[in-house]
Amino acid sequence: FDAAGIDYPSGDESMTFQEYADICRQLAQPSDNPEENVYGCSMPSDIAFGFFPIYGEDGRQAEGNMNAPELAEAFEIGAGLINDGMAPSSSVLDTIAVSDLFAQGQMAVSWSDFTAVATYEEAEIDFGMAPFFVVEGQENFVDTWTAPWGSFTESPHSDDALLFLEFIATDAQEIQMAETPDPPLSTVVAEAAGYGDDDPVKQEFLAVLANARSLPFAPPGENNWDPVEVMRLLTVEEETDAQAILDRMATAAEERLDEVWERWDTFDQAQFEDQVEEEQAEASASAEE
């Protein structure tokens, strides 16, 4: 960033896809020599597009959300970075991890979590952190990943489950700070414990987490949404119309979404356990074949 004369991204405001792409193109140093080539950024299709509310604010509507024009535009912007060599393609990432490219000075902006910090510090990289980039019109965003915890109300061992959740919310947070580089699940606990008081990198990470929030809930089982396939079609297959691709996905997803919500709304513990056993049996049979 310093060499290119570009201001650092904000630590508390998300860039849009277009802003991210503009910076990426300014930072890239393309070269036919792989050892000299520097990518401007990464464009991880499996997660970069996963933070748009593709099922709407209530998690029940694919049409108009999964195929929103602004999401289609974001896909085309992202595909353009890969097609133009500004970001590594999937074939490149089959041979080297994004974190390694960044640590080796061959990528200017990486997408990773706090577990990669030790690698970057060992490489003596002066780096900063920013929230996720978002689709035009979205709020600032950082995903909560697996932070939400819960238990079925009809669990046969609900008292034990709640006892474990109590542990997760109290003692386990202290253990997490002591044994891992990650902050606790609660920023309130982190601040009270002085997490990062002696580490500016952790302080910056905690500041970025101020924008963390979960996405609208939708039950599992709707599998038509496939951002990796969208990006493959736009790069490997050289298709150019993301809107048409998303329209097809949204139409198929809408029907399936109604089915998974109906199943979820009438779910009971016995049905859940039966389904788990059935899926495990199918997985075991597939593995044996």
Q: Which pLDDT value is given to residue 156?
A: 84
Q: Angle at Cα 134 formed by Cα 230 and Cα 138, nearest 5°?
A: 115
Dihedral angle sign, alpha carbons of residues 143, 149, 154, 155: positive
CB of 48 within 8 A of CB of 110? no
pLDDT, greater one: 143 or 89: 89
Q: Which pLDDT value is given to residue 215?
A: 84
Please list the residues that pair with 256 across neighbouring strands: none
Q: Which pLDDT value is given to residue 198?
A: 87
**pLDDT exceeds 70 at position 272:** no
DSSP letters spanning 53-86:
-TTTTTT---TTTTT-HHHHHHHHHHHHHHHTTS
pLDDT, greater one: 48 or 163: 163
- Give the β-pairing of 212-213 and 142-143: parallel
**pLDDT exceeds 80 at position 263:** yes
Residues 6+ apart with CB under 8 A from 142: 131, 132, 208, 209, 211, 212, 213
Residues 172-226 have pLDDT tens digits of 999 988 888 788 888 888 988 898 888 898 889 888 988 888 888 898 889 899 9
Q: Which domains does the chain have, with CATH numbers?
A: 17-141+215-288 (3.40.190.10), 158-212 (no CATH)
